[in-house]
Structure 1
Amino acid sequence: MFFLCCLSGLVVRAQEWEDQTGEIEDAEIVIEKDKKIELPPASRLYEKISPLPLKNDEGQMQFQYKDFNYQLTDLEPRIRVLTIKDPLLKKLYANYLKAGIGNFASAHLEAYVNSKRNENFSYSFHGKHASSSRGPVDKKNSGAAENFLGVNGKAFYDAFILGGNINYQGRKNHFYGYDQRVEAFRDTIEQKFNNFYVDGTLETRDTGSDFYFKITPSFSFLKDNFDAKESKFGMKFKSTFSLDENIGLDLGSYLSLTKRTDGTSLNRNLFKVRPSVNFKAGELKVNAGLNIVYENDTIAGGDKTHLYLSGSVTYDLNEDVSIYGGIDGDIEEVNLHTLVNENPFINAEIPLVHSNKELELYGGIKGSLFRSFTIKTGFSLADYENLYFFINDPLDTAKFNVVYDAGNTTAFNFFGEFGVDKTNIFRGAARFDFYAYSLERVDEPWHRPTYKFSLMGSFNLFDKILFSSDLYTMGGIKAKNFITDEEVELDPIVDLNFKVDYRYSDQVSMFLNFNNVLSKNYERYYNYPSRGFMLMVGLTYAFDRL
């Protein structure tokens, strides 16, 4: 508003100036600043305000506590937890039926039945028939057959395992090592062995306890076609007790009570006790003990008690390779059972004598290379008394007598083993043994080889075709020809076999066996040539239950 008034005054003054004419006169404007603004002096207070007096109240303070209960409704989560199902166990076809036929009028039938998976028990049944009606000499006069039936089972408890076996084995062969110029009648040369065997087992389970034991009672009965009989009751016991992680005690024992009847009746007893202590210190493991043996054998002198030193030392060169060595002594049991299993052509009423291994020294190296390869090589040097050998009967060369070196026999063995396992694709194993004997009262180590070599392998092609093969050689076997009264060295044994299995499905497969491919009629025992080339073809059917 003030601005408008000033503006209007200027406009009026300008109009007045426009009406006047003439010259502008000089003028002087003087502005004076002579007005002073003065404020009255302010009064100041220099005295402090005294604080208010405090009231001393001695009254007690009152506190009140209250409990507050908050009740919440139940939480009902709507989250779904994803669970992984247990993987299904692969179906196992552990039971199978197998049948095959081949030349020499051969037949093969086999069945195996297993229990299903069970944590409390297991059982199995095994039956087998294998026969060749014809052989290398006079056809049926050299035929052979074998039958087997077996049942076994186990029951698993918290602290121990209870098991048992019942087996029957029947074998038939012929004494076909007779002179071919003489006619032989089959009923006079036929030999049969019937063996019944039963045993039981009681052992503790691995529950982390420091004490373990296993006891195995057994009974067997053997009878041949010529009224020879032998019954045997046996008992094995083994126990270990760990004092700490480095020291333990072991105790083993064995009892054998046999009765042999073959023209005369003979009772033979054998009892062994092996106490020992074992300890380890770093890479060194040591076992030291005794072997105490009592036996009443047929050798003159009656009852005998033997005391042997027993011990072993193992040193780990690294995690995979170890060297070992030891000393031992023992009575090696010889009875009708063991001799028949080794040579089924033995004579009647043969003498039975246990072999006394008075002292044995052994050592070697063992280990694994590259995880898939295993090696083991070593030697043993033993002194024996009454080591047995087989020799043809001078009166009937088709049968074998048993002779014993009643003096001192030194037996040396050097061996080497090699194995490979490449995750179920390729497997192989090889072993070589060399033997040497120094005899005192026997001329030669009759029918004992000086070397053995075995080689076996298998190859799995795409889980469809399985190839397997084995080579077995043996040589240096000496025999006695009583017609010429000369020593005879048998030709080396070379036995090469092939087998092909074709898996048509998980349950059905076909097999083709080629045995003695080189068709060598080699002799393991003098006058007993083996069959030549043998071919067998057959089927296998696997199933999971009856």
Structure 2
Amino acid sequence: MKNKVLIILLIFSSFNLWAQDQDLDVQEVDVVEQFVPMIPPARKIVDIPKISDTVKVQKNVYYSTLSKQYQTAYQIDTIRPAKIKGEPIPRLYQTYLKLGLGNTALPSFEGYYNSLRNKQWSYGVEAGYHNSPAKVQGFDAGFQQTNIAAYGKGVLDFGIVNANISREGNVFSAHGMQDSLSEQKMHQYWGYSQFNVSLESKHNNRDRLRYFTAINLSDLNEMTENNYGFESLLKKRFGTYDYSVGFKADLYTNNTATDMAFAADTAREGIYTLSPRFYGDFYGLKVSAGFDEVINNRIMDTVGLNFHFYPQLRADYDIVPKIFKVYGGVRSGLQKNSYWSLSKENPFVLNALQYDGDAVVLKNTSSMDFYAGLNTYFNSDIRLSAELSFASRKDMAFFARNENPNYYLNKFSVLYDNVKHLSVQANANWNPSDRKGVHFSLMYNHYNLTELNYPSGMPSFEANLNGFYNLGDKIIGHLDVYTAFNRVAERTGQLDYAIKYIDLKNIIDFDLKVEYRYNKVLSAYLIGKRLIGGYEIWQNYPVIPRQIQLVISYQL
């Protein structure tokens, strides 16, 4: 009740309050005209606006772990290495023998003996003998071939040593389809002897220095021709690229035997080659580049010193990795032509002795080859490859039968010419397993000659087919088909000094070999060579047709 009375009294009470005790100033404004708004002119700092701001710098903070080993009482139990069962190491045999007999050959023999498994040493020897009394079109086409060789390899603390020594002999009849030649005039002999020893580094670490050094010695026909060679190669990686530098020295002498009458004077020649190389990978493009600087010093009646520069380049690129690859580049060099190399290609070449009436002129072949190719895999079984090449060759060697009436008309001279050589190669391989496979190859050659009219003996087109099939590891068959088309042979030495030509027949032939494995150590072979025949590889030397041979092999 008292509260209500107090509230009523407060409501009806009055109070006087003063906010300020002075009068406010009065400001009067006289309007004389209408107000017009105006914007004062602005001053530009820059023509193009830009943002001026600060950037907070990120600090590079490096965190590292501090290794500290804590000793524990826990002991780890070792696990014994696993042993693979059911995959025994195949047995090796020390001795391998082959004996054969055929319709155009006397009993032939081949023997091999080698060491068994050894991590430090390996060695072996081999020997062979083949003899044939065959006749072709009434002319003696017999031959006698022998070979013996020994080799050894040692893995030592300072490197790997390889050495081999060999001797090959080839005695045959160079009849040349001439009835008037005596047995002595038809007799032809080549004996090849060589010794090689090399030392190379044991490791394959590309970041470490790798080396290879070799010495090569060879002799032809007991001092008719000798070669002394030295080779050294160093390799190492610097950064992401590999580098190498090689040096070769090839010293050559001929006609040095004192008990033989040679048709030409003694000649000496030295070929020295410096070969730096660079290997790199640029975004998938694998490049190998370098050059060969060659010094050719030939000493006969006069001294001839020549310098040659040969660029070397190869680039590989995988368009589809492991499926489709293209490559190309430049390969060039100096090829030495000697009695050794020429007789290996054509055994009926003049043999440097006086009784042949003449000697072969020896010139080295200089070549510059531009090439491009591709490799492709359709699957794991089929592989195709092709290559296009255009080469410029100076002093390319060709064989021409020497028809000088003062000679025996059964040997070949060597002609040289400058050549532009275009070649196209294609290969196809089908290998679904190690029990069967087929290889097919094609080659087309076009020669643009400077002085000669035809590339003597060189075919324009070649096709080859090779195949094998293994039937249950018991019967294994091999087939080799080879063809060559458009071949022309040259003849030289006529009294009018003209070079004449003769068409050679096309080559279409095949070889067949069937092996029957009686067990792991005994096998029998039925071999047929040149089962069609009827052609000449070298003019006036028909091949021996339909050679059938039965061979038995045994290993122990």
Q: TM-score if structure 1 supplies the norm length? A: 0.79
The whole-number CA distance in structure 1 between the counterparts of 2:447 and 2:82 is 69
CA displacement 1:44-96 (0-9 Å, x = unmatched)? xxxxxxxxxxxxxxxxxxxxxxxxxxxxxxxxx9xx99974765312133631
Equivalent position amino acid for 1:381 in 2 = F
The whole-number CA distance in structure 1 between the counterparts of 2:94 and 2:509 is 31
CA displacement 1:271-292 (0-9 Å, x = unmatched)? 1111121210232111221210
Shift of 1:394: 1.6
| Unaligned runs of at least 5 residues, structure 1 | 1-76
Equivalent position amino acid for 1:250 in 2 = S
**Residues 433 and 452 in structure 1, CA contact (< 8 A), matched pair in contact too:** yes
Shift of 1:158: 4.7
Shift of 1:492: 0.8
Question: 2:235 pairs with 240, 253, 278, which one?
Answer: 240
**Residues 161 and 205 in structure 1, CA contact (< 8 A), matched pair in contact too:** yes
**Residues 298 and 353 in structure 1, CA contact (< 8 A), matched pair in contact too:** no
SS at structure 1 position matched to 2:89: coil
Does the alignment pair 1:323 with 2:326?
Answer: yes
SS at structure 1 position matched to 2:266: strand
Shift of 1:430: 2.1
Q: Which residue of structure 1 lines up, in the alignment, with residue 508 of structure 2?
A: 494
The whole-number CA distance in structure 2 between the counterparts of 1:207 and 1:268 is 36
The whole-number CA distance in structure 1 between the counterparts of 2:391 and 2:82 is 64
**Residues 219 and 226 in structure 2, CA contact (< 8 A), matched pair in contact too:** yes
Name the CA shift for 1:105/1:290 in 2 (closer, same or farther; >3 Å): closer
Q: Which residue of structure 2 lines up, in the alignment, with residue 154 of structure 1?
A: 153
Shift of 1:234: 1.1
Does the alignment pair 1:368 with 2:367?
Answer: no
Matches within 5 A, 1:509-528: 509-518=523-532, 520-528=533-541
Q: Which residue of structure 1 lines up, in the alignment, with residue 349 of structure 2?
A: 346
Question: 2:311 pairs with 309, 312, 318, which one?
Answer: 309
| Unaligned runs of at least 5 residues, structure 2 | 1-76, 256-261, 353-358
CA displacement 1:18-54 (0-9 Å, x = unmatched)? xxxxxxxxxxxxxxxxxxxxxxxxxxxxxxxxxxxxx
Q: Which residue of structure 2 lines up, in the alignment, with residue 467 of structure 1?
A: 477
Shift of 1:480: 3.2
Q: Which residue of structure 2 lines up, in the alignment, with residue 34 of structure 1?
A: none
Name the CA shift for 1:105/1:285 in 2 (closer, same or farther; >3 Å): closer
Name the CA shift for 1:142/1:85 in 2 (closer, same or farther; >3 Å): closer
Equivalent position amino acid for 1:243 in 2 = F
**Residues 195 and 220 in structure 1, CA contact (< 8 A), matched pair in contact too:** yes
Q: Which residue of structure 1 lines up, in the alignment, with residue 338 of structure 2?
A: 335
Name the CA shift for 1:207/1:397 in 2 (closer, same or farther; >3 Å): same
The whole-number CA distance in structure 2 between the counterparts of 1:354 and 1:511 is 43
Does the alignment pair 1:478 with 2:493?
Answer: no
Name the CA shift for 1:535/1:286 in 2 (closer, same or farther; >3 Å): same
Larger Rg computed on CA atoms: 1
Question: 2:413 pairs with 389, 394, 401, which one?
Answer: 401
Shift of 1:237: 2.5
Q: Which residue of structure 2 lines up, in the alignment, with residue 204 of structure 1?
A: 201
RMSD: 2.4
Name the CA shift for 1:387/1:242 in 2 (closer, same or farther; >3 Å): same
CA displacement 1:200-236 (0-9 Å, x = unmatched)? 0111123425222211211000017xxx700001122
Does the alignment pair 1:143 with 2:142?
Answer: yes
The whole-number CA distance in structure 1 between the counterparts of 2:502 and 2:285 is 48
Equivalent position amino acid for 1:232 in 2 = N
Name the CA shift for 1:367/1:255 in 2 (closer, same or farther; >3 Å): farther
> What is the percentage of aligned positions where both structures have the same residue?
23
CA displacement 1:90-123 (0-9 Å, x = unmatched)? 2133631000100123432101112101111111
The whole-number CA distance in structure 2 between the counterparts of 1:516 and 1:509 is 23
The whole-number CA distance in structure 2 between the counterparts of 1:195 and 1:505 is 37
**Residues 228 and 250 in structure 2, CA contact (< 8 A), matched pair in contact too:** yes
**Residues 141 and 544 in structure 2, CA contact (< 8 A), matched pair in contact too:** no
Matches within 5 A, 1:177-256: 177-179=176-178, 182-210=179-207, 211-223=209-221, 229-244=224-239, 246-256=240-250
Q: Which residue of structure 1 lines up, in the alignment, with residue 170 of structure 2?
A: 171
SS at structure 2 position matched to 1:443: coil
The whole-number CA distance in structure 1 between the counterparts of 2:218 and 2:80 is 61
The whole-number CA distance in structure 1 between the counterparts of 2:277 and 2:108 is 47
SS at structure 1 position matched to 2:519: coil
Matches within 5 A, 1:404-443: 404-405=416-417, 408-443=418-453
The whole-number CA distance in structure 2 between the counterparts of 1:318 and 1:96 is 45
SS at structure 2 position matched to 1:506: coil
Q: Which residue of structure 1 lines up, in the alignment, with residue 59 of structure 2?
A: none
Structure 1 range deviating more: 110-119 or 155-164: 155-164
Q: TM-score if structure 2 supplies the norm length? A: 0.77
The whole-number CA distance in structure 1 between the counterparts of 2:369 and 2:80 is 67
Name the CA shift for 1:364/1:353 in 2 (closer, same or farther; >3 Å): same
Shift of 1:442: 2.0
Name the CA shift for 1:190/1:512 in 2 (closer, same or farther; >3 Å): same
**Residues 137 and 176 in structure 1, CA contact (< 8 A), matched pair in contact too:** no
The whole-number CA distance in structure 2 between the counterparts of 1:481 and 1:267 is 29
Shift of 1:532: 1.1
Name the CA shift for 1:154/1:134 in 2 (closer, same or farther; >3 Å): same
Shift of 1:143: 0.4
Equivalent position amino acid for 1:229 in 2 = T
Q: Which residue of structure 2 lines up, in the alignment, with residue 95 of structure 1?
A: 95
Shift of 1:185: 1.7
Equivalent position amino acid for 2:122 in 1 = S
**Residues 311 and 328 in structure 1, CA contact (< 8 A), matched pair in contact too:** yes
Q: Which residue of structure 2 lines up, in the alignment, with residue 56 of structure 1?
A: none
Does the alignment pair 1:389 with 2:390?
Answer: no
**Residues 257 and 269 in structure 1, CA contact (< 8 A), matched pair in contact too:** yes
The whole-number CA distance in structure 1 between the counterparts of 2:124 and 2:381 is 31
The whole-number CA distance in structure 1 between the counterparts of 2:82 and 2:176 is 72
Question: 2:389 pairs with 376, 380, 400, which one?
Answer: 380
Shift of 1:137: 4.2
Name the CA shift for 1:372/1:113 in 2 (closer, same or farther; >3 Å): farther
**Residues 283 and 317 in structure 1, CA contact (< 8 A), matched pair in contact too:** no
**Residues 462 and 484 in structure 2, CA contact (< 8 A), matched pair in contact too:** yes
Name the CA shift for 1:302/1:99 in 2 (closer, same or farther; >3 Å): same
Shift of 1:485: 7.3
**Residues 400 and 491 in structure 2, CA contact (< 8 A), matched pair in contact too:** no
Equivalent position amino acid for 1:530 in 2 = V
SS at structure 1 position matched to 2:342: helix
CA displacement 1:453-507 (0-9 Å, x = unmatched)? 2211111110111111101111222113568975212111122111111001111
Equivalent position amino acid for 2:399 in 1 = F
**Residues 522 and 553 in structure 2, CA contact (< 8 A), matched pair in contact too:** yes
